[in-house]
Amino acid sequence: MKEMLKKIPSVDLVFNDIQIKEFPLDTNSKLTVIKNTLDQVRQDIFKNKFDDSSSINFIELILNNLFNHKNKLTRVINGTGTIIHTNLGRSVIPKIVLQNIVSSNLGYSNLEYNLKTGKRGDREQFISDALSELVGCEAACIVNNNAAAVFITLNSLLKNKKIIVSRGEMVEIGGSFRIPEIIKHSGVKMVEIGSTNKTHLNDFTNLIEVDEKIRGILKVHTSNYKIEGFTSNVSIDKLSQLKNDNLILIEDQGSGTLIDFSKYTNTEKEETVQNSIKNGADLVLFSGDKLLGGVQAGFILGKKILIDKIKKHQLFRTFRVNKIVLSAVETILNIYKDESRAIKEIPTIRMICEKAVDVEKRVDNFIKRITNKNLKVTKIRTTSTVGGGSMPQSKIESFGIELMVIELGENKIFEYLKSYAIPIISIIKNKKNIIDFKTVLDHDEEILERCLNEWKII
């Protein structure tokens, strides 16, 4: 019995096992589970429940117990190659953003306290200032997501008025968010214009001339589709020629980027927020966790007089973001002040810009580290996508691994990977099980390696 008790590992040793170290649970809860499990084993040994303690797999036992305590919302490894994956939390939050959320919120904060005057302050002035500096707008405000941005903008500025939307831009995005529905609920009357494939400037001119209730034009980014072939639509700079004191030009950019990606990759062109402002949009709306690469939020920026009106609206408070989001957004916008930092530190941007040869190098290095003889791991070419309703046509050349396990079909492999302590989401394509390394982060690799090397196939 003494010999058996001696084989029980120390709490420290177990805690530092990578699967347990990386297990998505706070340290104190983890330590409690480890101590309780080891105590239980000790008692079972006293009760002569084991013949031989060397057969006990302590890590497995603890992991099983940890699973019962696991948060339901948990980190996963994205092996799908879709960068802004709607089901996997859209953009990965940059590490420094997470660190700053902690440091700014460890105690009270000056959320609505002006440290200069010692009086009440504006909780989001710094966001307006940062965006003005970055994109040259007069002012900006922030709400919970871009859907909210569209709603509150229309409801506070154009209720009971009419707005023109091109038929080619009647977007439905995931989760059945439909532009025409949102417009209806905001109390604004939508006037459709043009045809599915073509809308011309004089379609707008003709309508505006005859209907004085028209007070706005909404241009919507066709996020998740492209109309190809015999097409035309009217750009923001052309539409801005139609503006007058009674007509607001709003652009819902959806993904909204501050970076001109054509400088770094050959993905399809996305108009930047700063260009829309420069080309005459009165207001531009976009998401915080699509191409911006931050957290869920919706930005409204443009003319100060309009932003002030939106912020004064009674409903604005129901859409306002919390202090955690505010500190995240402040950090993100600060990163953008130096574009070279954005490319390195914002995972979404880094992944879009990472060259295929660099992904290939990561794959080659990874494969060398897999020693499990039960698996066959081979390098494979993949096509990654941006996802999240951004750059719908962009196919990014990339690399990944194909996993083959003796006597296991692709679905079994998929299930095994998904049931790992940190679930690994692979893809099945042509009956092959593939992990696309485009979306495998540096700190995911060690876990993946461990998962594959320790896989005992029975």
Other Cβ atoms less than 10 A from the Cβ of 176: the count is 7
Could you say which of 137, 173, 283, 386 contacts ligand PLP (CB under 6 A)? 173
Shortest separation between residue 146's beta carbon and ligand PLP, angstroms: 3
Which span sits near ligand PLP by CB under 6 A: 144-152, 269-277, 370-378, 399-407? 144-152
- For residues 88 and 76, the answer to whether their CB atoms sit within 8 Å is yes
Question: Shortest approach of ligand PLP to residue 166 CB, angstroms?
Answer: 13
Work out whether 123 is an interface residue with ligand PLP (CB under 6 A): no
Task: Candidates 92-100, 145-153, 319-327, 337-345: pick the segment binding ligand PLP (CB under 6 A).
Answer: 145-153
Cβ count within 10 A of residue 345: 18
Cβ-based nearer residue to ligand PLP, 142 or 403: 142
Main-chain phi, psi angles of 330, to 5 degrees:
-60, -45
Task: Give DSSP secondary structure letters for 224-286.
Answer: T----SS-B---HHHHGGG--TT-EEEEEEET-BSS-GGGT--SPP--BHHHHHHTT-SEEEE
Q: Which stretch binds ligand PLP (CB under 6 A): 186-194, 215-223, 330-338, 358-366?
A: 215-223
Strand-pairing partners, residue 214, are 162
Q: Please give the Cα distance from 328 to 95 (Å, whole number).
A: 10
Q: Which one, 194 or 254, has the nearer CB to ligand PLP?
A: 254
Nearer to ligand PLP, 141 or 173 (CB): 173
Residue 128 binds ligand PLP, judged by CB under 6 A:
no
Short-list 31, 85, 41, CA closest to 61: 41
DSSP assignments along 76-115, one per residue? -EE-S-BSSBGGGTBSPPPHHHHHHHHHHSSS---TTB-T
d(CA 411, CA 33): 32
Q: What is the dihedral of CA 238, 242, 244, 248, to 10 degrees?
A: -70
Question: Which of residues 249 and 405 has its CB atom nearest to ligand PLP in the complex?
Answer: 249
| Nearest distance in Å: CB 222, ligand PLP | 8
Beta bridge partners of 301: 140, 284
* Shortest spacing between CB 311 and ligand PLP, in angstroms: 19
Q: Does 97 bind ligand PLP (CB under 6 A)?
A: no
**217 is a site residue for ligand PLP (CB under 6 A):** no
| Nearest alpha-carbon partner for 153 in 280, 281, 255 | 281
Residues 6 or more apart whose CB falls under 8 angstroms from that of 118 comprise none
The Cα–Cα gap between 145 and 329 comes to 12
Residue 84 vs 452, nearer CB to ligand PLP? 84
- Largest Cα separation within the chain, whole Å, is 95
Minimum distance from CB of 280 to ligand PLP (Å)?
Answer: 19
What residues from 384 to 443 belong to the interface with ligand PLP (CB under 6 A)? 389
Complex with ligand PLP: residue 254 or 302, whichever CB lies closer: 254
- The pair phi, psi for residue 178, each rounded to 5°, is -115, 130
Site for ligand PLP in 258-317 (CB under 6 A): 287, 298
Q: How far is the CB of 179 from ligand PLP (least distance, A)?
A: 7
| Total binding residues toward ligand PLP, as defined by CB under 6 A | 16
> Strand pairing of 177-178 and 172-173?
antiparallel
Contact 367, 377 (CB under 8 A): yes
Q: Is 145 in the site for ligand PLP (CB under 6 A)?
A: yes
Interface residue with ligand PLP, options 19, 53, 146, 267 (CB under 6 A): 146
Stretch that binds ligand PLP, among 98-106, 169-177, 199-207, 424-432 (CB under 6 A): 169-177
Q: How far is the CB of 282 from ligand PLP (least distance, A)?
A: 17
Q: Verify binding: residue 254, ligand PLP, rule CB under 6 A.
A: yes
Please, which residues have CB within 8 angstroms of residue 272's CB and are 6 or more apart in sequence? 135, 257, 258, 259, 260
In terms of CB distance, is 53 or 385 closer to ligand PLP? 385
Identify residues 360-389 at the interface with ligand PLP (CB under 6 A): 389
257 lies in the site for ligand PLP, by CB under 6 A: no
Report the residue from 223, 267, 274, 385 that binds ligand PLP according to the rule CB under 6 A.
Answer: 223
Binding to ligand PLP by residue 147, rule CB under 6 A? yes
Q: Of 287 and 384, which CB lies nearer to ligand PLP in the complex structure?
A: 287
Can you give the binding site for ligand PLP, defined by CB under 6 A? 145-147, 150, 171, 173, 177, 220-221, 223, 252, 254-255, 287, 298, 389
